[in-house]
Amino acid sequence: MIKNCEYCKKEFEADNYQVKIGWAKFCSRECGLTGGAKKRNPRIPNTTCAYCEKSFYKKECMKKYSKCGLYFCSRACRGMGMRYDVSLIPFKNRENGDIDSRTYRKIAFKDREKKCNRCGYQKHARVLQVHHIDRNRKNNKQDNLEILCPNCHAEEHLTI
């Protein structure tokens, strides 16, 4: 069957089966990519990756799912961004004035040695956790915060 290309208007031969299922619209792959892109909405970059700063397209309806308001072009960039830049770690910005975990962690480590108060673990300071002694997460005073390793912290919460 002879058809006209929807992009360049050249005649081309197409199988009856392809015409029947709606495939025979363009004479070549180049016309299909160019003509098809013009026909539907082209994806114009509207966002910048927070890690690599590459421009990319992200649906407006999907932007609401970002916890921290940052967007990444790929899972690899998100992983690298979260791993190496602590300021990119998502947190819930609460309206009632709660301090996020990064702030009370800074308060706890400010004038203290980076080691567990119970067992003395200090091999990897990044794994150390901050425990609220009175169990009130809003009370972020220096004397209420205790530095614990993950094991001691788990034991503290299991022994109520």
Same domain, 26 and 72: no
Same domain, 17 and 58: no
**94 occurs within a structural domain:** no
- Give pTM, 2 decimals: 0.40
Same domain, 16 and 35: yes
If you average pLDDT over residues 24-41, what whole number do you get? 73
How high is the pLDDT of residue 91? Answer: 47
Same domain, 107 and 154: yes
Q: In total, how many domains does the chain have?
A: 3
> How does DSSP assign 115-155, residue by residue?
S-TTT---S-GGG-EEEETTS-TT---GGGEEEE-HHHHHH
Domain span at 73:
47-88
34: amino acid identity, one letter: T
User: Measuring CA to CA, which residue among 148, 144, 126, 143 is closest to residue 135?
Assistant: 144
How high is the pLDDT of residue 155? Answer: 92
**111 occurs within a structural domain:** yes
How high is the pLDDT of residue 6? Answer: 85
- Model pLDDT for residues 58-97, shown as the tens digit of each residue: 888 888 887 777 888 898 988 887 776 555 554 444 444 4
Q: Give yes or no for residue 43 having a pLDDT over 80.
A: no
As a whole number, the mean pLDDT across the chain is: 81
